[in-house]
Structure 1
Amino acid sequence: MDSSPPNTIIEEAPPRFSELKPPLSEDIIEALDRSGFEVCTPVQAETIPFLCSHKDVVVDAATGSGKTLAFLLPFIEIIRRSNSYPPKPHQVMGVIISPTRELSAQIHKVARAVRLDFAKCREVEADMNTLEEEGANLLIGTPGRLSDMMKRMEFLDFRNLEILILDEADRLLDMGFQKQVNYIISRLPKQRRTGLFSATQTQAVADLAKAGLRNPYLKCEADQKSSQLVHLLIENKNKKLVVFFMTCACVDYWGLVISKIPSLKSISFFPTHGKMDQKGRDTALASFTEASSGVLLCTDVAARGLDIPDTFTSHQGPGSVGEGIKGICFLCPCL
């Protein structure tokens, strides 16, 4: 009779806001504590560190996932660290595009709750005379109102804008706002951080991400990761991609699974991780470097210190997942 103890699955507790890296400011942590926000949702835990590290993100996030704080908190931190801090009254440092006035009002309410008092946060539905007299550092509004305001209000300065957020991007496009969104993006500086949040990842959303984001990191909900990964690989089968997994076992498992999917047969996969022998790791890396297309499957350790032409820039020393990446990345815990 087998007397071995049963397998025990230990789920890692979600991190607290005070545990995120890079760290949030102490007064922001205190404000979150007072408002009852101590523990991050999965979307917040994954998104905040990337935006705070000046990286673009594409996030699969439905209503109720905590996405509003996931982009508001990085905005606060990015502005405080910028060379333009404190911003002048008419110096717009952030723009949040949402599909409806109701959602804009909700985002504005959350922004006030986390004490965005160092910057003037305005809904663009507000009185235009007040906006002209007092200015704004963060604009929140619908695409139609924002694009119209940008055409008529030359007193607002967007030259030092730090962050653009497209909230519920799938709804923005479904409601016919693509022309206005493209206009807004064209008026903003290219050297910015951009976050695209969407409940679904349609082809239209993917096209918008390509137009508005530079080298985005894609984060999706757990139950959608497998299908999203396959979709991403098919859509970029002629490119070089890097897929990060949390463990060596995940690299081995998914390297075997996805290589047997019929629609992915034409793609070359190069698994590598720390439990492989040195020769195997060197061979996988050399083959991926020399290939014109393909997918490197690895753990986050591979994000450090690698130099692959057209895919990576060199980064020495410790860093977060994907530090220095130039190509397309997909973050997969264990799918």
Structure 2
Amino acid sequence: MSCSLIGTCYAGRAVLTVHLLCFFQRFELHIIRLLDFIGLLVLSEMTLFSSLEPPLSSETLEALSNSGFKFCTPVQEKTIPPLCSHRDVIVGAGTGSGKTLAFIVPLVEILRRIQPDNKPNQVLGVVISPTRELSSQIYHVAQPFVSTLKNVKPVLLVGGVDVQTDMQKLEQQGSKILIATPGRLDHIMDRIDGLDFRNLEILILDEADRLLDMGFEKQINSIISRLPKLRRTGLFSATQTEAVQELAKAGLRNPLKVLVEAKLLSGASPSQEFGSSKLPSGLKNEYLLCEADNKPSQLVDLLIKSKYQKIIIYFMTCDCVNYWGLALPQLSLLKNFSLISLHGQMKQIARDKALATFSSLSSGVLLCTDVAARGLDIPGVDFVIQYDPPQDSDVFLHRVGRTARMGRKGSALVFLTPKEEAYVYLQRSRKVPLEARECSDEAPDVIPEIRSAALRDRDVMEKGLKAFVSYIRAYKKHDCNHILSWKKLEIGKLGMGYGLLRLPSMPDVKRRSLSTMGFIPVTNVNLDEIKFWDKSREKQRKQKLQAKLLAQEVEKRERKRKESRKATSGVGRKKPAKKRRAIQSVEEYDELDREYSLIKKLKKGKIDETEFANLTGTLDLMCNL
């Protein structure tokens, strides 16, 4: 009986196990994210917003609750109380630590206490961030909290929008809170005298290190010089550089330094424990060594294996994003993938649309530059792939920080060639450990398909060439050029990796200062005859080509005309008056000498009068007489 009962129990467990496996397979992604969130609550010592001192207002607590925030992250717990207590702060915290709420909540609380009046042009709070996307994100995060204040509304000031529109909006409606990029805010402050900053309560500099790295130091100093000294200032950054420290000395008064390090999840590997304080707690950080001509195949293999994940792929330049954003969808293996491009040279409307679309997806791929590396809180990113290492090695940490945010799990991978392996040790020395990952033997060879796409569409071919050249130029300017040496760049394998039909005519290629080994050009193809797939673009190309040929013909004729004129420059040209008079005088003297000589011959009888008259031209005159 007992055996039968035990058998029944085992059978029941087996059935239950099968049902559970089916359940997990169907809802795997959602369950993993739910477990990550639960792990965050269990593994972290969380503090309730309602328990902070000084206490937050009921309106702010309600807005936090409605937005799904009940517990503070460590950076919020350490930053909100001092900012609300009239202290300046310098905050250093990793990506995904919740820095945005750490300054939005104090800003709203400070303005609530002073009860702003209806003066439209009185500015009470300023938030400055380095990029349009980050400023826009802060603006949207702040909306539900600012809406709880009376007579207060924020205004977003970023590039990509007509500056006259922003000026008219401020002059007519005003704003108590400005959320802006430094260039646009400095421009607005120069052109609008009506904005009143005398009663400014709080200034926030978000991603301060990036503000300085991007060359905004002049604008930041200009803005700070026009603000009152009696204010609260918060300086937030993921890395505390020397430039940030200098800025803090100039703009902050006796600041409180807040440094928040990420905590490891239990069971972390030894490689993670080494210097793990700079990594998000749930991040699996890896590197993949492969030759440049094998990178596209390995990338496609990773995308296929991560089909149902949300992935960000970082490239070195905007041209690289444009090219791969066009080439990857041409591959048959990626036909059903959602591939979205984002970079700084896109129009602002297109950038906003791309970011909003990717954020709304449960799975998809974002191809981007470092414009999406800092501060952006894109929900649910599972995997970050660095196809190219960043020009600025400090950005490496910010890139991988787009995943494993707020205690969730995530993966990151950087592609490196064998000659770039020292980059791993550089990151490890900066307390950013990396684990090795093996190349996949199952990766499909996609280079022939990319080349076929270039033969079909001139746009693919031209964008590939531009991306290739832009990558080489950017590689030269890498801040780790002692490790990522430009002189060791194998452009032959790189060109194959870009699916080029032929290497471009570059000085370094002509001089053979860089290795072209490994490149196999496509033969028996006239590149000038490759057409655009878009008929309108092909028509424009032909018109430009005809105009170019016509211009060359006109130039050739003009050159021949100039050469002909130069050869006959002394013939038939009228001489200056002074020169003409000098020539005339010489001719007259010669004629007089000749006549005098003939008169002597006539007197001596050597010639007769008829001969004299004939030689001097007086014969006709004598006949007439």
TM-score, structure 1 normalization:
0.61
Q: How does 1:87-236 map to 2 (within 5 A)?
A: 88-118=119-149, 119-125=152-158, 127-128=165-166, 129-222=168-261
1:196 and 1:166 mapped to 2: Cα distance?
5
1:31 maps to 2:63: yes
1:15 maps to 2:47: yes
1:20 and 1:11 mapped to 2: Cα distance?
20
Segments of 5+ residues of structure 2 without an aligned counterpart are 1-41, 264-274, 276-625
Bigger Rg, which one: 2
Give deviations 1:242-296, integer Å, cap 9, x for gaps: xxxxxxxxxxxxxxxxxxxxxxxxxxxxxxxxxxxxxxxxxxxxxxxxxxxxxxx
Alpha-carbon distance, 1:207 to partner: 0.1
Would you say the 8 A contact 1:20–1:49 is kept in 2? yes
Partner of 1:85: 116
Would you say the 8 A contact 2:60–2:148 is kept in 1? no
Letter in 2 for 1:186: S
Alpha-carbon distance, 1:11 to partner: 8.0
1:20 and 1:86 mapped to 2: Cα distance?
28
Would you say the 8 A contact 1:80–1:86 is kept in 2? no
Alpha-carbon distance, 1:130 to partner: 1.7
Letter in 1 for 2:250: A
Q: 2:90 pairs with 55, 58, 68, which one?
A: 58
1:43 and 1:160 mapped to 2: Cα distance?
28
Would you say the 8 A contact 1:94–1:163 is kept in 2? yes
Structure 1 residues 105, 12: closer, same or farther in 2, change over 3 A?
closer
Q: Residue 122 of structure 1: SS of its match in structure 2?
A: strand
Would you say the 8 A contact 1:58–1:209 is kept in 2? yes
Would you say the 8 A contact 2:59–2:148 is kept in 1? no
Letter in 2 for 1:13: E
Q: 1:49 pairs with 81, 97, 102, which one?
A: 81
> Aligned pair count?
215
Q: Residue 114 of structure 1: SS of its match in structure 2?
A: helix
Alpha-carbon distance, 1:89 to partner: 1.7
Q: Residue 208 of structure 1: SS of its match in structure 2?
A: helix
Partner of 2:396: none
Would you say the 8 A contact 2:146–2:153 is kept in 1? no
Partner of 1:74: 106
Q: Residue 140 of structure 1: SS of its match in structure 2?
A: strand
1:61 and 1:11 mapped to 2: Cα distance?
18
1:65 and 1:187 mapped to 2: Cα distance?
31
Would you say the 8 A contact 2:88–2:254 is kept in 1? yes
1:130 and 1:19 mapped to 2: Cα distance?
39
Would you say the 8 A contact 1:89–1:120 is kept in 2? no
Segments of 5+ residues of structure 1 without an aligned counterpart are 1-9, 228-335
1:152 and 1:176 mapped to 2: Cα distance?
21
2:199 and 2:262 mapped to 1: Cα distance?
38
1:117 and 1:136 mapped to 2: Cα distance?
15
Partner of 2:318: none
2:94 and 2:71 mapped to 1: Cα distance?
18
Alpha-carbon distance, 1:47 to partner: 0.2
Letter in 2 for 1:100: T
Q: Residue 95 of structure 1: SS of its match in structure 2?
A: strand
Letter in 2 for 1:17: F
Letter in 1 for 2:138: I
Give deviations 1:46-105, integer Å, cap 9, x for gaps: 0000000010000002331111111011111111222x6235221100011100011000
2:260 and 2:88 mapped to 1: Cα distance?
18
Would you say the 8 A contact 1:122–1:140 is kept in 2? yes
Q: Residue 220 of structure 1: SS of its match in structure 2?
A: strand
- Larger relative contact order (CA 8 Å, sep ≥ 6): 1
Q: Percent identity?
A: 60
Would you say the 8 A contact 1:94–1:139 is kept in 2? yes
TM-score, structure 2 normalization:
0.33
Name the structure with the higher helix share: 2
Letter in 1 for 2:80: I
2:233 and 2:223 mapped to 1: Cα distance?
13
Poorly superposed stretches of 4+, deviation over 4 Å: none
1:95 and 1:62 mapped to 2: Cα distance?
23
Partner of 2:16: none
Would you say the 8 A contact 1:31–1:115 is kept in 2? no
Give deviations 1:125-155, integer Å, cap 9, x for gaps: 3632122111110001111111111111111
Q: Residue 148 of structure 1: SS of its match in structure 2?
A: helix
Structure 1 residues 161, 87: closer, same or farther in 2, change over 3 A?
farther
2:124 and 2:194 mapped to 1: Cα distance?
14
Alpha-carbon distance, 1:223 to partner: 5.7
Would you say the 8 A contact 2:146–2:154 is kept in 1? no
Would you say the 8 A contact 2:108–2:145 is kept in 1? no
Structure 1 residues 223, 15: closer, same or farther in 2, change over 3 A?
closer
